[in-house]
Amino acid sequence: MHTVFIAVAIGEFAVIGILLVRLARGPSVSDRVVALNTISTQCALALLFFAAFADRSGYLDVALWLCSFSYLAAFVWARYLERGLL
């Protein structure tokens, strides 16, 4: 079962690599914001699977914190872009 957790975590980091390309090449700022938000969500998922693999509950708090602030940051960026400040 531990190999499944590690395989999923490695798969999440592979997806992050693909999203980094989208972050660098995004045709618009909105695409880059969505890519950055998705990267932070994928990092949180990888951290959750690693927490299950390592049997550490401390990582769950960090993953929850990361998801919460990522969600909040997406709203802040959307508000910033809505006003045309960027």
User: What's residue 6's pLDDT?
Assistant: 79
Per-residue pLDDT for 85 more than 80? no
Residue 65: predicted pLDDT: 92
Residue 52 in tokens: 């299950």
Domain ranges for the chain, please list them.
Answer: 2-82
Percent of the chain clearing pLDDT 90 (strictly above): 6
Residue 83 has a CB neighbour count (10 Å cut-off) of 8
For 54-81, what is each residue's pLDDT tens digit?
Answer: 888 888 899 899 988 988 988 888 888 8
What is the pLDDT at residue 7? 85
pLDDT interval class at 86 (50, 70, 90): low
